[in-house]
Structure 1
Amino acid sequence: MDLLQFYKCLADDTRLKSLLLILKENELCVCELTHALGQSQPKVSRHLALLRQKKLVIDRRQGQWVHYKINPNIPDWAQDILSLTLANNPSSIQQEVQRLGEMTYRPNSEVLCD
């Protein structure tokens, strides 16, 4: 993994918060991230596509949903940076975590995302 590209991915607020939310929840679908971040689906999907291209996240399709999780094959140093960032800055995604918790229809509840 290229060090500069890793930090460029973290430099964008949407990508950083997406990574931290995914790390915290272990796996999230696009609709969950869209709801938590309060952003449009195309914008969130575009950022996720870049994170996937840079191999920071992996995805899996389940029916109409695409779920993302942190790539288990990223280098240990990159995983450590993400984990330390989340552990030491929980307030940075507090609002997004709250929105996610208030989301009525989540894939894990087997109800369709909007």
Structure 2
Amino acid sequence: MRLDTDILRLIADPLRARILELLATESLCTCHLVEETGAKQANISNHLRALRAAGLVDAEPCGKFTYYSLRPDALRAAAASLTELADRAERHPQARRPC
């Protein structure tokens, strides 16, 4: 399993990380995310677009609003790649390549 650096780069952004934290407990629309984060609506929309494109967030239209929710399976996949990396390091704590 390889690390998905694109996903790691996305979730490393502080505002995107905050959006993911907020969506972990409930589905929210853009106006809620603006209120919770203090970020501008256009900024939130751009971040949501990136998170959706990466498969981390789903969107569900509801009247004139769109509610966003976290996709736990996508986060678990990213976490699994990090766990596998840590497991590999534990299996070979003293491994050293000769010069």
Secondary structure of the residue aligned to 1:34 is helix
Structure 2 CA distance, aligned partners of 1:10 and 1:63? 29
Structure 1 CA distance, aligned partners of 2:75 and 2:40? 31
Structure 1 CA distance, aligned partners of 2:5 and 2:79? 15
Deviations 1:58-94 (A, max 9, x none): 00010111111112442634367xxxxxxxxxxxxxx
Among the aligned pairs, what percent are the same residue? 28
TM-score normalised according to structure 2 size: 0.70
1:38 and 2:61 equivalent? no
Secondary structure of the residue aligned to 2:74 is coil
1:5 and 2:6 equivalent? yes
- Aligned pair count reads 79
CA RMSD of aligned residues (A): 2.1
Structure 2 CA distance, aligned partners of 1:75 and 1:17? 14
Structure 2 CA distance, aligned partners of 1:60 and 1:2? 29
What amino acid does structure 2 have at the position aligned with 1:43?
Answer: N
Unaligned runs of 5+ in 1: 81-114
Deviations 1:13-57 (A, max 9, x none): 11010001100x221111100100001111000000000001100
Structure 2 CA distance, aligned partners of 1:75 and 1:34? 23
What amino acid does structure 2 have at the position aligned with 1:16?
Answer: A
2:56 maps to what in 1? 56
Structure 2 CA distance, aligned partners of 1:4 and 1:36? 28
TM-score normalised according to structure 1 size: 0.62
If you compute each CA radius of gyration, which structure gives the higher value, 1 or 2? Answer: 2
Structure 2 CA distance, aligned partners of 1:2 and 1:26? 28
